[in-house]
Structure 1
Amino acid sequence: MIRTGAEYRDSIRDGREVYINGQKVADVTLHPQFKPLVDIRARIYDMAHDVKTEAVMTVRDGDEVNAIGNALPYTQDDWWAKRRATDAVLEDVGGIVTRVGDETVGEMWSLFDGQDVLAEIDPQFARNIENHITRVLKTDPFHVSANTDPKGDRSKAPQDQDPDMLLHVVKETDAGLIVRGAKYETAAAYANQAFTKPTIANWGNSAMSDYAVGFICDLGSPGLKFICRTGFAGRAPAEDYPLANKFDEVDTIVIFDNVLIPWENVLFYRHTRAATFIRSCLHRYSAFAFVQRNLKLADMMIGAALFNARQTGLDKQQAVQEKLAELAVYREGINAHLTAAITLGERSPAGLMMPNQSLLYSGRVLACSQLHHMMHIARDLCGGQICVTPDAASFRHPETKPWLDKYYTINDEWVADDRRKLLAFARDMLNSDYAGHRLTFQMFAQAPAYAHLAAVYRNFDWDGPLSFVKGAAGLSDRVMGGKPLKSGDSTLTQWYGEPSRAAAE
């Protein structure tokens, strides 16, 4: 059954070795650089029990009530429900948090689709993924994702350098696999478990490789060490940096120092085909929740920019309206891709409802590749005062307050304190260390830009444009290389989907 926030906090007080700022953390739930996100994750758990939000945060399965984010998607309505739940969380906490479960548990569903591939290696691996998906739904852990490795010299195969540069198996035992190496995992220090899988790498030419391993890691396991980057929370007063102090999701390099992975947690092993398959479809579900965050960030940029423009009447100028329109087009472009991805959803190999893959991955390219440009437009609209405004303490000091009240009060509607709050919010979203970190995170968190484009290439229906040009130009069948066109290969089908499938939904 769904957990409470208090139960979640208790679950991560398990004696794990967490280090930050050169110090060992005694209690990750109380440390000032982890506590803000622990509190937010606890709030998400509690929202499932809050009478005001439980309807949007949960789904009933017979007599059980489960978290909507963990539930397998079988219909379009399931995706609309997930979208509403994510919006409810972000609006409740007043900002953007990404690695809180709904954006990472979807990777497990890709494995669910690939059970036939896993069964080729060992039928038990296919059963393991089904068991873990059930466990996630029933026990409601905080599930995150482990992706990239330190990698080392990328011109060399992992076997030709320090083998620990990529996570690998060092021993098989009756109890399970012993693994060594390291993984970068956002939020790992305060999560319960992680889907740990191979990075995009060269595993060697052999069909078998100790680096081609995927498993569920209990983050309380002996032998794990969590070495975290310095957090943004607590560096400066929350009044001056309201986002950095509340929404910094601390990234961690997790050291696997001969860690035992029980066989029931192993999802695939020594099979490069399985590793390649998982990498190729890893984000077919999780990309939706990831891109949805960019939509909310676009709303934040529009709101901050428009408030700043309206304060002094600049929103009446055509040049300002055009820049606001660019932000709106970016926002609506993301919204359109998400909406269409649900509306033209596709059946997965295991019978799940996938967001339309071509539209979803194209939306991710739009959201990530244009984000830096949109942030610069928002900076322009917010004006230079976001980088020169004094801190909140100066607005309160008896000797400086009168002057700052004088120069920051615009009218009866916009007094100095509200203007300072808006400028501090915009600065933290667009200009601060935290802002730069978030921009890089959004660009690389699921994959680098070339991998985003590769996903589009793999999922776009190239036959539609080819068939249209073949007919319009009067080309012979030979130009298709003898390949017959599939039923429904037309531009209309590409845009609107199969009528029978749409009707079924």
Structure 2
Amino acid sequence: MTILDASARTGRGLLTGDRYREELADGRELYLDGERITDPARHPAFRPAVDTLADLLDLQHEPEHQDLLTYKDPGTGLRLARAYQPPRTLEELRLQRRSAEFWHAAAFGQHGRSPAFMASIAVGVHDFRHQLDRARPGFGANADAWYRHCATNDLVLSHALGDPQIDRSTDPVDDPDLALRVLKENDVGIVVRGAKQLTTLAPLAHEVLVYLSASFTQRRGEQFVVWFALPLNTPGLVTLCREPLGAEAWGHAHPLGARYDEQDAMLFFDDVLVPWDRVFLLRDGALARTGLARINAWSAYIGHVRYRERLRTLLATATLVAESIGVDGFRNIQEDLGRLASYAELTEIFLDAAEARATLTDGGLLAPGDTAASRVWSAEVADGAVDVLRRIGASGLLMQPTEKDLAHPRLRPFLDRYMRGKDIDAERKSRLLRLAWELVGDGFGQRQHLYELVHRGDLARNRINLFKRYDQSEVRHRLEKLVSGPFPEASETAATSPAGPPEERP
């Protein structure tokens, strides 16, 4: 029995917020601004985001939410997070969606890499286990054991796909530091060296799943083809955080950034030993490319749930801002809001379509229908979605008083007179527009928008792939048949028209 098998058999079940906080202090090598962070849950840069995740995890234990957010695992008898349930029926797939809707509504659609998102990728790894095992016996069992280890301990996961941006014009075969690679194999496992970006949620997660992004090409050598998972406190694994985006400065509160900044990180693998029971795929580029779509089938679906909630948040905020300055009755403003409402509605339709087109996999699970086209659409409308709120708020998004400004006796009369809105006082209006600024203007808002543009992969490549696999055969056949012979002259067409020649028409 492997360590992962034993962990799955003795799993601790659903996380509580307190247990989650404690488990982050695991000795990982985590750095922020040149400082090693030993306890992320208690560090001021991470604490608000950790507390938000902890509060959401605690909701799993409340009786009124239990049946939606959790399920009873028949194998262990434990209650597990709904996101870890392998869906075998349409009802189970829809329960996964409703559970994710609950989570993302609580987070206003700002948690791109929520535990629900990554749990669905673990489900995908579990589903793909048979193909992994056919490629190399034992790898499928490893994947299944890792999934059960994550599910029965309710682990918060991250994933690492992208290579560092050093020199994209050079192939990693010529400069091995351009991509994570396998240095050697031994009786214990494999040794890997390199880096991965941009690993969202890594500083706040238990484990990271490492695999290849869609930018992987056939040219790369087999030493770059590897899938594995590791705890983030693995010796030799170094995590470097970017600048936090929710920190308060000069009294300006950041309620969204503080709560929902998931943190992004670089991971450095300094000759890290990956035990064999944590390796799922090795030196098989074709299987890696096939597996990428398979293991992400459910995460793409859950990603649409999150995007729907983000669009709903942008729409509601834009409407409130328009009302606060008295422009909600203007035709052009209503048109903009209608465009944003159409985006939110279409995302709902895409989810319904994914369910309607769901199919059984060879792993026995029900996978949502292909979401490739809707993912392309989502990236295409991302600019327009934030632009609606930005244009309605205009300069008002930039200049709003802080809570201390509002409390100042000298300033407050000016604020009440000159910074109020239509049927809204200066205090509420300032908070509303500061919230809007966070969504579309400040560092957090810009990071969230950039996430929408890049996290689904390169847009041009996705369009090309969609074009290449779209079935045009039937309409091409009809068109080719139409153009295979000479077109009739106009006079011949008129003579044979059911309506008769022009002179005979009434």
> What TM-score comes out, normalization by structure 1 length?
0.87
SS at the partner of 2:158?
strand
Counterpart residue type for residue 319 of structure 1: N
Match of 2:79 among 42, 51, 65: 65
Moved more, 422-431 or 88-97: 88-97
Q: Take 1:349 and 1:237, find their aligned partners in 2: how far apart are those partners? A: 56
Paired position in structure 2 for 1:243: 256
Task: Say if 2:440 and 2:449, in contact at 8 Å, map to a contact too.
Answer: no
Residues 162-214 of structure 1 deviation map (CA, whole Å, 9 limit, x = unaligned): x23211111212111111111121111121111101234556658x6111011
Moved more, 277-286 or 220-229: 277-286
Q: Take 2:282 and 2:214, find their aligned partners in 1: how far apart are those partners? A: 16
SS at the partner of 2:462?
helix
Q: Take 2:475 and 2:108, find their aligned partners in 1: how far apart are those partners? A: 47
Paired position in structure 2 for 1:503: none
What is the deviation of 1:237? Answer: 6.2
Residues 305-359 of structure 1 deviation map (CA, whole Å, 9 limit, x = unaligned): 11122234422222221111111111111111112111221222222111110xx
Paired position in structure 1 for 2:113: 99
Task: Say if 1:19 and 1:25, in contact at 8 Å, map to a contact too.
Answer: yes
Is residue 34 of structure 2 the alignment partner of residue 22 of structure 1?
Answer: yes
Paired position in structure 1 for 2:5: none
| Identity fraction in percent | 25
Which residues in structure 2 correspond to 1:143-292 (within 5 Å)? 143-161=157-175, 163-184=176-197, 185-201=199-215, 205=219, 209-236=222-249, 240-292=253-305
Q: 1:459 to 1:115 in 2, by over 3 A?
A: farther
Task: Say if 2:207 and 2:229, in contact at 8 Å, map to a contact too.
Answer: yes
Paired position in structure 2 for 1:378: 389
Q: Take 2:195 and 2:443, find their aligned partners in 1: how far apart are those partners? A: 26
Moved more, 8-17 or 447-456: 447-456
Task: Say if 2:109 and 2:307, in contact at 8 Å, map to a contact too.
Answer: no
Q: Take 1:355 and 1:409, find their aligned partners in 2: how far apart are those partners? A: 48
Task: Say if 2:84 and 2:151, in contact at 8 Å, map to a contact too.
Answer: yes
What is the deviation of 1:93? Answer: 4.2
Q: Take 1:110 and 1:238, find their aligned partners in 2: how far apart are those partners? A: 44
Moved more, 4-13 or 194-203: 194-203
SS at the partner of 2:228?
strand
Q: Take 1:455 and 1:11, find their aligned partners in 2: how far apart are those partners? A: 41
What is the deviation of 1:260? Answer: 1.2
Is residue 392 of structure 2 the alignment partner of residue 392 of structure 1?
Answer: no
Match of 1:441 among 434, 437, 451: 451
Counterpart residue type for residue 450 of structure 2: T
Task: Say if 2:87 and 2:365, in contact at 8 Å, map to a contact too.
Answer: yes
Match of 2:473 among 453, 459, 466: 466
Q: Take 1:237 and 1:141, find their aligned partners in 2: how far apart are those partners? A: 36
Q: 1:238 to 1:90 in 2, by over 3 A?
A: farther
Is residue 58 of structure 2 the alignment partner of residue 53 of structure 1?
Answer: no
SS at the partner of 2:316?
helix
Unaligned runs of 5+ residues in structure 1 are 478-505
Paired position in structure 1 for 2:93: 79
Q: CA RMSD in A?
A: 2.3
Match of 2:460 among 432, 441, 450: 450
Q: Take 2:362 and 2:469, find their aligned partners in 1: how far apart are those partners? A: 15
Counterpart residue type for residue 458 of structure 2: P
Q: Take 1:459 and 1:349, find their aligned partners in 2: how far apart are those partners? A: 21
Match of 1:296 among 301, 304, 309: 309
What is the deviation of 1:95? Answer: 5.3
Match of 1:431 among 426, 441, 444: 441
Task: Say if 2:246 and 2:258, in contact at 8 Å, map to a contact too.
Answer: yes
Which residues in structure 2 correspond to 1:118-157 (within 5 Å)? 118-157=132-171
SS at the partner of 1:420?
helix
Match of 1:418 among 428, 448, 451: 428
Paired position in structure 2 for 1:488: none
Counterpart residue type for residue 388 of structure 1: M
Counterpart residue type for residue 3 of structure 1: L
Residues 405-460 of structure 1 deviation map (CA, whole Å, 9 limit, x = unaligned): 1123335x411111111111111101112111111112112312124324534664
SS at the partner of 1:285?
helix
Moved more, 55-64 or 109-118: 109-118
Q: Take 2:18 and 2:295, find their aligned partners in 1: how far apart are those partners? A: 32
Residues 212-253 of structure 1 deviation map (CA, whole Å, 9 limit, x = unaligned): 011011111111111111111224367542212221111110
Counterpart residue type for residue 466 of structure 1: S
What is the deviation of 1:64? Answer: 2.4
Q: Take 2:126 and 2:104, find their aligned partners in 1: how far apart are those partners? A: 28
Paired position in structure 2 for 1:490: none
Paired position in structure 1 for 2:498: none
Q: Take 1:417 and 1:202, find their aligned partners in 2: how far apart are those partners? A: 51
Q: Take 1:238 and 1:88, find their aligned partners in 2: how far apart are those partners? A: 32
Task: Say if 2:128 and 2:295, in contact at 8 Å, map to a contact too.
Answer: no
Give the count of matched residue pairs. 469
Q: 1:266 to 1:183 in 2, by over 3 A?
A: same
Q: Take 1:203 and 1:180, find their aligned partners in 2: how far apart are those partners? A: 19
Q: Take 2:251 and 2:473, find their aligned partners in 1: how far apart are those partners? A: 56
Q: 1:418 to 1:375 in 2, by over 3 A?
A: same
